[in-house]
Structure 1
């Protein structure tokens, strides 16, 4: 069984998943297309996890020249010029050499991707946006196709063109994997209930190495003290973790605005921890949040440098409350890890976390962002469900890849036998 993982292929997520699949399906071969590692480069030792790490080549001049008189190149040329509104536009001919190079690149890329997909039995696309939909044209009749929706690709995508691309890939797919019943209903409402039989519920999960790092950091009192000093996190205040990345969808600005309404009363009670170590490409937004942090009366820790897994484990041990009111989300590792540490989570009720509730996991919900201060008042006075700090075992059973990956393997085996 040869499986190709393509689309958004983040090493931190895919590597542990692959290790576990290989344990359950030792005869499988797993390749990855487009492997990346946020915050750093992919090293040779990282690639050992996979049977094959596939990267699109940079084509040499010799290769480019070789295709100039091929049938596919001529077809690409005709298609290009037909699409031009004005074929007599002199600008096209001023850049004719570069146009020819680009078209030759397209021909070689097409051949590369077609040959790549032909070698695999199952193609599992991760995150269904244009990173994945662009590969539809390269799939062959023998490929079994799995689409894994992460959340934002289902709930935050808009526009007729992208919708049509997603729908074509969904129509071609054999299985559609979402995290929860809520996400399933969103998918079926958006694209049609005829796809119900294709849908499976599952989640990637975290490997025990991750849980063990968190527990190890929890027991390391000296290390926790050193990191608290490094990040200037006080011991005598309730630490609020605001989001987990620099993404605008985290809505740091709205959270900070609400907190500032109570700053005079609460500034000596709360310390704000704002990690914006990745997904911070929107420089204007990043600067705006930085300005808000500098103006707030609360003490704060603004972390902007990429953190290792070990550092993240210490950080999550040092906080008390995780505020998670993203615009949309299917699930996120920070929520898993803080619940595993029995930290209080304040969560937007609009987020599709039905599977967490059904597992008996407790957290505070707010219906709108302006309710955050009400939830924090409950934290201050201790008006909480007594089970809110007893989620460790439940979240582990729900999210450990010891439980989730076997379900993935069942999906692969089901498709391989079709």
Structure 2
């Protein structure tokens, strides 16, 4: 965007761990790493916090000295930084992110961007009242799809109708280039390498379940259904569960216990995957099962589809844009229907893979046609 429009876009991240620095450097002019943890501030900064308005507001509201000092210290660091910007866009509207809203100087144009879980869930981490209050101050609100837009309006009120735009703000087309540009031989090489690395029999079909270690992927509903697949097919399937992020020990153990109980061949990927390993996994995902509780516009799904593989997804997921663009995938509307669909896909795997060959091109065209960069620039500059 910064190449085509007279804007400078900087990134401010209140994170404990930082993402891929190379990607950040390519996308943003400046990257500010802001910690909001009290231990990250110097003694002088903590002493100075008591002279800040937010210290006293917090103290008289909560009577919590530690949190009040943190509020004052964050105000001293965050507010002057925000003062130099005209537009401030909050991505992923969790409670910790929205907590920073109070430190934005008056008169700034504020944009909010929902990413998925922050819209679909309602608990202490995604507090409805806190989000609703923040959205009242929004100049604009961004979601990834028309389905998400409808959910946001139903959840927060139709008075926001004129403020909400549905567009994918991530450059999907660029992310898919590494899949659409590869040859069939390269894809076959990735599959062979993945099977060798994980001791998967050559004749087995690799079936990937979900994309995270969160319970939103419905592993415990899917796993019992896998075991009911006809034995002649089940014996030639290896199920791969990528659980490389969002790991909660208790849930992870439950999933592993369920897999062991069904006595099926499985592999759990729990270590962080680098870019090369992720590329290999996408190509090795001959069949992807995505029956999550909810999802936004899933990059992992789009990458697997662009790699020419088959996806079986839930009808309740908001993939209307993919469907209307003719992207080829299979759907089920209930967990108990998964075995029959898996059997059908295994029977016609080669035929269905041929149908998937143009998926990457179709998804890239979908992104290009929505003119996301132009629309975002207008939102920022209006």
* Secondary structure at 1:277 match in 2: coil
The number of residue pairs the alignment matches comes to 373
Look up the match of 2:142: 177
The correspondence for 2:214, drawn from 244, 247, 261, is 247
Look up the match of 1:54: 33
Look up the match of 1:84: none
Deviation of 1:53 (Å): 1.6
The correspondence for 2:260, drawn from 270, 289, 294, is 294
Cα contact 2:173–2:364 (8 A) shared by 1: no
Look up the match of 2:242: 275
Q: Counterparts of 1:352 and 1:136 in 2: how far apart (Å)?
A: 29
Deviation of 1:152 (Å): 1.9
Q: Against the structure 1 CA distance between its residues 72 and 235, is the aligned structure 2 distance closer, same or farther, given a 3 Å change threshold?
A: closer
The correspondence for 2:366, drawn from 391, 398, 408, is 398
Match status 1:22 vs 2:2: yes
Report the more deviating stretch, 338-347 or 24-33: 24-33
The correspondence for 2:202, drawn from 235, 238, 252, is 235
* Secondary structure at 1:172 match in 2: coil
Q: Counterparts of 1:179 and 1:208 in 2: how far apart (Å)?
A: 15
* C-alpha distance after superposition, 1:183-204 (max 9, x if no partner): 1111111111111100111113
Report the more deviating stretch, 400-409 or 192-201: 400-409
* C-alpha distance after superposition, 1:153-183 (max 9, x if no partner): 1122257992111111111011111122221
Match status 1:411 vs 2:376: no
Q: Against the structure 1 CA distance between its residues 45 and 242, is the aligned structure 2 distance closer, same or farther, given a 3 Å change threshold?
A: closer
* C-alpha distance after superposition, 1:226-251 (max 9, x if no partner): 33211223331222110111111101
The correspondence for 1:32, drawn from 12, 17, 24, is 12
The correspondence for 1:167, drawn from 132, 136, 157, is 132
Q: Counterparts of 1:177 and 1:371 in 2: how far apart (Å)?
A: 34
* Secondary structure at 2:207 match in 1: strand
Cα contact 2:312–2:332 (8 A) shared by 1: yes
Q: Counterparts of 1:297 and 1:362 in 2: how far apart (Å)?
A: 32
Deviation of 1:370 (Å): 1.3
Q: Counterparts of 1:114 and 1:25 in 2: how far apart (Å)?
A: 26
User: Relative contact order (alpha carbons < 8 A, sep ≥ 6): 1 or 2 greater?
Assistant: 1
Deviation of 1:77 (Å): 4.1
Mapping of residues 382-393 of structure 1, within 5 Å: 382=348, 387-393=355-361
The correspondence for 1:193, drawn from 158, 178, 189, is 158
Q: Which structure has the larger Rg? A: 1
The correspondence for 1:226, drawn from 178, 187, 193, is 193
Deviation of 1:344 (Å): 1.1
Deviation of 1:311 (Å): 0.8
* C-alpha distance after superposition, 1:74-128 (max 9, x if no partner): 55544444xxxxxxxxxxxxxxxxx655533321222322222222111111112
Identify unmatched segments of 5+ residues in structure 1. 1-20, 82-98
Q: Against the structure 1 CA distance between its residues 373 and 389, is the aligned structure 2 distance closer, same or farther, given a 3 Å change threshold?
A: farther
* C-alpha distance after superposition, 1:346-366 (max 9, x if no partner): 111111111111212121111
Q: Against the structure 1 CA distance between its residues 36 and 42, is the aligned structure 2 distance closer, same or farther, given a 3 Å change threshold?
A: farther
Deviation of 1:382 (Å): 2.4
Cα contact 1:336–1:399 (8 A) shared by 2: no
Identify unmatched segments of 5+ residues in structure 2. none
Could you state the TM-score of these two structures normalised by the residue count of structure 2? 0.86
* C-alpha distance after superposition, 1:238-297 (max 9, x if no partner): 2211011111110112111101122634322322111111111x1111011112233433
Q: Counterparts of 1:411 and 1:239 in 2: how far apart (Å)?
A: 43
Q: Against the structure 1 CA distance between its residues 106 and 398, is the aligned structure 2 distance closer, same or farther, given a 3 Å change threshold?
A: same
